[in-house]
Structure formats: C-alpha cells, structure tokens
A and B are shown apart, each in its own frame.
Chain A
Amino acid sequence: MDFSLTEEQRLLQESVQRFVQDSYSFEQRRTLMAQPDGFSRDTWAQFAEMGWLALPFEEADGGLGGGPVDTLVMLEALGEGLVVEPLMATVLLAGRALACGGDEAQKARWLAPVLEGRLLAALAAYERRGRHTPGWVETRAARIGERWRLDGEKAAVLHGECADLLLVSARTAGSPGEPKGISLFAVPADSDGLSRTPWQTIDGLRACELTLEAVMLPADALIGEQDAGLALIEAVLDEAAAAQCAEAVGAMAALTRITAEYLRQRKQFGQPLAAFQVLQHRIADMFMETERSRSLAVLAALHARSEDVATRQRAVSAAKVQAGRSGRFVGQQAVQLHGGIGISDELSVGHYFKRLTALDARLGSADWHLARFAAQPTRG
C-alpha cells in the first residue's frame, strides 16, 4: 500500500505545473481561446514536444509507457490551468481507442501522428437518444462488397469540429441498446457524406453533432473486432473518465485555494470574510469535497485498466459520481463566496465553475454513473 509518486511522476507533475504557471495564466488562456479552433496549435505542438501526447501509450506504439496514475498526475495539474487543448478527445479517447483496438497498420497510419501532434482525432460514441449510454447505437454500418457504408447521427462529439479523424461507433448487427453488434470505424473528416454542426461548450471547448449519410469506407476502417466494439469503447471511456476525475480534482483544488485567498483579503463589516464562521465551514466543506474526489480519482486510476471489468466500472463510476457531486458543490460555493464578482466572466472563478459543470456532463453524468454503480450485482 503506497500513495507516493515515483521520481518520474514527480518530475512530470512539476513540469506540467510549471507549464500552467508560466504559459497558462487566465489572460494567456483568453488569447489561446480566441484562436479559430478555440485553442492554440502552437501550444498543442508544445504538448507533443513535452511528450504529453505520448504519455499513456505503449513504448512499442511510440509512447512513453505511462499508466493511468501518470495520466492522473498530468490531468490533475492541467485541471488547475483549465486547459482548452483537445487532450481528452485526441489522446485519451480517440488515441486510446486506436491503441487498444487498432492493428499495426492502423496504429502506424493514425496513432503515430496523434502522438506527434500532427493529427487531431475524436471519438463519436454517443447519440442523442442514448444520452450517456454508449451501448445505445442507432447509426448503422452495412457491408457493401469490400466497403462499409455508414448512416446515422452522433451526438456531442468532443472536439469533433477540428478533428482530422473521427472514430465512430455504428451498429453492424442487432438493435439500439443491445451490447452486441456495435463496431468502431475510423472515418476521415473529409469523407463524402459526413457533415458537422459545430457548437461551443460552456467551458470553452468545441464539440459537434455529426451526420453520416452514405459515408463509404474501405474494409480496413474497422477498428477492432466486428460486433464486439462496445467492450473496447467502454474500456476507453472508463479510462478517460478516470483521467477526467483527476482533472476535476485539479480544478476543485485550485478553486478552493482561490476562494480561501479571497476570504482572507475581502473585508466586510470591518473584518476579513475569513473571520466569519459560516464561511469558514463552507470552505472546510469545499476542502472535504475535493479530498473525497481525490481519493476516488486515485482509486479509479488504480483500476482504470483492470482486466476485471466489474472492478473497473465500480471504481470509475464511484469516482465519477463523487467528482460530479463535489464539482457542483465546490463550483457553486466558490461563486457564492465571491459574492457579486463571482458571477462575472472576468474572473477565473466562474470559468472553473463552468469547467466543473461541463465535466459532469461528459463521459457519463453523476446520475448515470450512480445508476451503473447501483446496478452492480451484490457482492459478498
């Protein structure tokens, strides 16, 4: 039993923290977000140079051989900076799906450039009617001779707008909701019949709705096993959700620190706000919510690649429930404790609040994960 970081993890943590401190101030972030893609390609190239895009991949795939705990360390530190780069979409979702499901040729073609920062990819696993459930797939993929034909609509594709490659789940058999019969396809963004309706997220990211109308793909567009794609997709979503919980912890810790600082400085009735017990208790609760989430984010990371699917789902769902609930509490209280200025867009506080709110809506909400956690068979 050991919760300490290795020397390598400590160095990674320091370098990400230093990056956030030096290059990701609130003002700098505004400039980055004003770029056409909603983030800076230069910063993305910097991420690649630092090796962050290669962190969670096997050395054989050109990665650094990092595991979910390394990802946790990186995401927690990036969470403090409210980064807007498509790390989640390209690396942790699409990248991991390619790494776990792709064959050598597919990895050479698509994963290698992801690691180098030359290709942006996104995972289109959700549909409007399926909400947070990746098993609800209406989009169909039909085999036409040597090719696949895809028709359907995918929803809330994170960073799908700027992606060069979209990994799309489609039904090759069965009906919506059935776990069997789902397959994953690599769809180049410039494919005929593919159209995107871009939208912005409240926390400064980009997303899109995706429509596929008679999109024709070669046989080797199939990633992983035909009809058995759901297991792959769920594994990838769980590992990414674990990482996202770490990101939420980083944001919560920063927000609690910023709020504590404000309580020390702001004076009313002739004394600092920090002198009022009702506010002291609120900040104590913010601290506790953050630590609750931190504990489960660690547990989720430790089980994120577990072979035992029930163990993985249990830990990830617990973490996601807690991060969702705590994130809401910490965000709302930070705004409340800042008073009027808390609702201004000029202050970082509101942006942390929006990030935490959006994180709960991605990769399964707290409610969705609570239902999954509650549905697990009784143990012991």
Chain B
Amino acid sequence: MDLQFSAEERAFQQDVREFLASELTPELKRAVRLTPTVFVEKDIADEWHARLNRRGWLAPLWPRQYGGAEWTPVQQFIYESEAARAGAPTTIPMGVRMVGPVIIRFGSEAQKAHYLPRILSGEDTWCQGYSEPGSGSDLASLKTRAEPDGEDYRVNGTKLWTTHAHYANRIFCLVRTSSEGRPQAGISFLLIDMDAPGISVTPIRSLSGDHEVNQVFFDNVRVPQANRIGDEGQGWTCAKFLLEHERGGVFSHRLMAMVQALRHLMVDTADGESALSEDPHWRERLAALEVRVLSLEVTEMRVLSRLKAGEPPGAESSMLKIEWSELQQALTELAMDIAGPYAQFFEPGRPLYALAGHTLGDERLASIPPEYLNTRAATIFAGTNEIQRNIIARLVLGA
C-alpha cells in the first residue's frame, strides 16, 4: 500500500497544474465561487468546456478515436483534485458523462459520427429526460409513450426536474415503447431535438429562487426511429449503464475546498473580541466534517484502485454517492451557522457573479443561503440516498 504517484502520474499532475494556471481565469474562478446551483451557468460552462476541449481533456473517459483522453482512474483523480484546489468549474455532465458514453457503448456508427463531435464542440447542449411526475425513484414506472408512426415515433408525455432544458437543443429520454412484460422491458432510449414541434419547456424555480430545472412536455412530437439508441426495449440497460457512470467519480477534493473556504470564512467572521476560528467549538465543528472528507478521499482512492485492477466497485459506489451528498449538505449547513444572522439573507439578483455590488459587502454571504437551499437536492437526485441504502443493504445482506 502506498499513496505515491508514479513518475508518469507526477508528470501528468504537472501538466494539469500548468493547464489550470494558464486557462483558469480569475473571472471563471469567481463565477465558480458565486455559483449556488448544482451546475455553473451556460456561459461559464461553454467557456470552460471550450478550453478543456482545445487541450483534448473535455471527455477524459472516452476512447481516443472519438476525441476522448482515455485517462486512467488515477489521472482522473489527479485532474479532479487539482481542478478542485484551483477552483475550476466542473464540467456539465449531461453530454460528456451521460449521453456520450451511452452513444459510444450502444449507438450505431452513424449516431457516433453525428453526435459525439457536436458534444465536444459545444454545438449540442444536452439535457436528461428521466424523471416524470409519477416516476421518481421508481423510474421503471415511467409513462411517456413513443408509438411507432411510419419511420417515426410519436412521443407524448412529460419529463420533470430537467436540468438546463432551457439551454439544451437536445434531450435524451427514456420512453415507453411497450407495456408488455416487466416495466423495465418496455423502455427505449431516444434522442430528441428540443426544437421539434410539440415540445414545450416550463421553468421550475427552486427554493433559492434559481432557475436550473424545468418540466418538459411532449405533445405528439415526431421523432425518427433512427434516433433510438440500441434496440427497442434496451433503454433500461442504457439507463443502468449511465447511472453507474453518474455514480462513480471523485468529489472529496471539492468538499475539501469547501472545508478550506469555511476555514477562511471563520477567520473573517468576528464574534466579539475574536474570530470564530479561535473558538474550539467552531474549530471542532469544522474538524468533525474534515475528518469525514478525509475518509471519503481515501474511500475514493480505494474504489479507483479497484477499478484500475479491473474489479467492480461494489457497494462502495452507492456509498460514495451518500457520502459526498450528505457531506455537502453538512458543510452548507455549517456555512449557514457561521453566517449567523445573515443565514436569512436573500439576494434576488442572478447570476450572483454578474452583480455589480453586494449589499452586505462580503459577496460570500450572498451565496451561502441559496447554496444551502439548493444542496437539499443532492440527497435526492442521481438515485435518492434511500435508494442507495437499499442497494448497499442488498449487497451486505446478500439477499
């Protein structure tokens, strides 16, 4: 056992540092600091994606033949760690990390040739059509129908919690093509143009006043059958494949950056004669979370090293989802407590990084409450933490 990187890995780490030093502008960094939503806004994402793409790093896990970087798990870990420390944006996953890998794994050559380059170039912006009003955790019960009509399908139904649907020009959807047999067996994976007639998008404002998610309605939308990925009825297989991609990953360094930011906030927050940072009570509250983040970092490394050896991640992949989401919530909660009376402060202007001045002087105070509010979603999306605990229990109980 050791935590050392190999010579090649250290060289890669140096490349990443140089890249970040030259490409991560102060404006981008500030935008990241003042983003209270799950993902950065489209203008910030587009700029960062373009910079990554020029370096060949936008799709770290895709095969080289499709323009990917084919990073090893350790390289991925190194990039994420350096990017988090530097305060770089995270990439928006819907194209690169979600639909991209599904197209590569299950798509036809024509589909690969058409869609993959557009993800990298930024020509296409994707959103994900999974959840529905009646289908949350029980995703397989989804009702949005796709009925054959000549060479096309006619799609009717609605999708909910669709992140960035108001920016996207394409949506990948799970639709019902059959109601025979097990609910999972009648699901297909469809790629749909957002400008197709019959699609409408209604914004959903979150608790924080942010507009990040939407409801998408499909009213007799014609979609070529050629836009289906894989066979009819293979959608569930694609969805499971995608969820596993969504679940893996490296989050601890982002959380450690939050710990660091809270430490600075405590130094800057006066409480009578001294700062909060000098009070053991506050130091220990932060320390208790830092211990958990350290633990998560090692767990991530253990999972990566297992992936490197070609072994499946096991119950730990569900554990990682639970850990990072609960820690993120706990850290935003501590931020609220540090903010004290300003935990109730509401800044209506958006985006925060574009505001000319800040009412309270310290711009950090504007993002603490909305971040806390938005982070409540972390234990709900990407498979609720209750579902993740079901999965872990199944593996532990061997049932």
Is A349's CB within 8 Å of the partner chain B? no
Is A4's CB within 8 Å of the partner chain B? yes
Count chain A CB atoms within 10 A of each CB in B280, B291, B297, B299 and give the residue with the most.
Answer: B291
How far is the CB of A323 from the nearest CB of chain B, in Å? 10
**Interface positions of B from 249 to 299, Cβ below 8 Å from A:** 260, 263, 267, 277, 280, 283-284, 286-288, 290-292, 294-299
Choice from A260, A295, A301, A375 contacting B397 with Cβ under 8 Å:
A260
Residues of A contacting B283 with CB < 8 Å? 374-375
Is A60's CB within 8 Å of the partner chain B? no
How far is the CB of B213 from the nearest CB of chain A, in Å? 27
Is B1's CB within 8 Å of the partner chain A? yes
Q: Tell me whether B2 and A284 are in contact (CB under 8 A).
A: no
Choice from B3, B287, B295, B305 contacting A292 with Cβ under 8 Å:
B295
Over the window 293-323 of chain B, the binary record of Cβ atoms lying under 8 Å from chain A Cβ atoms (1 yes, 0 no) is 0111111011011100100000110010011
Choice from A2, A280, A301, A374 contacting B389 with Cβ under 8 Å:
A280
User: How many chain-A residues does the 8 Å CB contact rule pick out?
Assistant: 39
Q: Tell me whether B284 and A296 are in contact (CB under 8 A).
A: no
Residue of A nearest to B285 (CB): A374
Q: Tell me whether B2 and A1 are in contact (CB under 8 A).
A: yes
Q: Tell me whether B397 and A274 are in contact (CB under 8 A).
A: yes
Q: Tell me whether B74 and A1 are in contact (CB under 8 A).
A: yes
Choice from A4, A296, A370, A373 contacting B298 with Cβ under 8 Å:
A296
Residues of B contacting A285 with CB < 8 Å? 389
Residues of A contacting B74 with CB < 8 Å? 1
Residues of A contacting B316 with CB < 8 Å? 291
Q: Tell me whether A373 and B287 are in contact (CB under 8 A).
A: yes
Residues of B contacting A318 with CB < 8 Å? 290-291, 294-295
Is B392's CB within 8 Å of the partner chain A? yes
Q: Tell me whether A287 and B315 are in contact (CB under 8 A).
A: yes
Residues of B contacting A87 with CB < 8 Å? none
Residues of B contacting A291 with CB < 8 Å? 299, 316, 319
**Interface positions of A from 269 to 302, Cβ below 8 Å from B:** 274, 277, 280-281, 283-288, 291-293, 295-296, 298-299, 301-302
Q: Tell me whether A371 and B397 are in contact (CB under 8 A).
A: no
Q: Tell me whether A321 and B305 are in contact (CB under 8 A).
A: no
Residue of B nearest to A378 (CB): B263
Whole-angstrom distance between the alpha carbons of A263 and B396 in the complex? 11
Q: Tell me whether A371 and B298 are in contact (CB under 8 A).
A: no
Is B5's CB within 8 Å of the partner chain A? yes
Is B243's CB within 8 Å of the partner chain A? no
Residues of A contacting B9 with CB < 8 Å? 1
Over the window 307-343 of chain A, the binary record of Cβ atoms lying under 8 Å from chain B Cβ atoms (1 yes, 0 no) is 0000000000010011000000000000000000000
Given A291-B319, A292-B295, A371-B393 contact (CB < 8 Å): no
Residue of A nearest to B300 (CB): A295
Residues of A contacting B295 with CB < 8 Å? 292-293, 295-296, 299, 318, 322
Is B398's CB within 8 Å of the partner chain A? yes
Residue of A nearest to B303 (CB): A3
- How many residues of B sit at the interface, in one of the four size bands? 35 or more
Q: Tell me whether A292 and B386 are in contact (CB under 8 A).
A: no
Whole-angstrom distance between the alpha carbons of A291 and B297 in the complex? 12
Q: Tell me whether A284 and B291 are in contact (CB under 8 A).
A: no
How far is the CB of B331 from the nearest CB of chain A, in Å? 16
Is B344's CB within 8 Å of the partner chain A? no
Q: Tell me whether A263 and B1 are in contact (CB under 8 A).
A: no
**Interface positions of A from 365 to 380, Cβ below 8 Å from B:** 370-371, 373-375, 378, 380
Residue of B nearest to A288 (CB): B319
Is A69's CB within 8 Å of the partner chain B? yes
Residues of B contacting A3 with CB < 8 Å? 1, 301-302, 305-306
Is A172's CB within 8 Å of the partner chain B? no
Whole-angstrom distance between the alpha carbons of A277 and B397 in the complex? 12
Whole-angstrom distance between the alpha carbons of A368 and B363 in the complex? 36
Given A285-B389, A295-B298, A370-B3 contact (CB < 8 Å): no
Choice from B4, B294, B322 contacting A1 with Cβ under 8 Å:
B4
Residues of A contacting B399 with CB < 8 Å? 264, 274
**Interface positions of B from 141 to 167, Cβ below 8 Å from A:** none
**Interface positions of A from 1 to 43, Cβ below 8 Å from B:** 1-5
Residues of B contacting A375 with CB < 8 Å? 280, 283
Q: Tell me whether A288 and B322 are in contact (CB under 8 A).
A: yes
Residue of A nearest to B306 (CB): A3
Q: Tell me whether B292 and A292 are in contact (CB under 8 A).
A: yes
Is A90's CB within 8 Å of the partner chain B? no
Q: Tell me whether A370 and B287 are in contact (CB under 8 A).
A: yes
Residues of B contacting A321 with CB < 8 Å? 288, 291
Q: Tell me whether B301 and A1 are in contact (CB under 8 A).
A: yes
Is A256's CB within 8 Å of the partner chain B? yes
Whole-angstrom distance between the alpha carbons of A222 and B297 in the complex? 42
Is B390's CB within 8 Å of the partner chain A? yes
Residues of B contacting A263 with CB < 8 Å? 397
Given A284-B393, A298-B298, A374-B1 contact (CB < 8 Å): no
Choice from A284, A299, A302 contacting B392 with Cβ under 8 Å:
A284
Q: Tell me whether B1 and A295 are in contact (CB under 8 A).
A: no
Residues of A contacting B315 with CB < 8 Å? 287
How far is the CB of A271 from the nearest CB of chain B, in Å? 12
How far is the CB of A207 from the nearest CB of chain B, in Å? 28
Q: Tell me whether A380 and B292 are in contact (CB under 8 A).
A: no
Residue of A nearest to B264 (CB): A378
How far is the CB of B142 from the nearest CB of chain A, in Å? 23
Residue of A nearest to B399 (CB): A274
Over the window 355-399 of chain B, the binary record of Cβ atoms lying under 8 Å from chain A Cβ atoms (1 yes, 0 no) is 000000000000000000000000000000010111011101111
Residues of A contacting B323 with CB < 8 Å? 288, 292
Given A280-B397, A302-B2, A321-B291, A371-B280 contact (CB < 8 Å): yes
23 A-B pairs whose Cβ atoms sit less than 8 Å apart in the complex? A1-B74, A1-B305, A256-B396, A260-B397, A274-B397, A277-B390, A287-B315, A288-B319, A288-B323, A292-B292, A292-B299, A295-B295, A296-B294, A296-B298, A299-B295, A301-B1, A302-B3, A318-B295, A322-B291, A370-B284, A370-B288, A373-B290, A375-B280
Of all A-B residue pairs in the complex, the 7 with the closest CB atoms, nearest first, are A280-B393, A295-B298, A374-B287, A284-B392, A374-B283, A284-B389, A281-B389
| B residues lining the A interface (CB < 8 Å) | 1-5, 9, 74, 77, 260, 263, 267, 277, 280, 283-284, 286-288, 290-292, 294-299, 301-302, 304-306, 309, 315-316, 319, 322-323, 386, 388-390, 392-394, 396-399
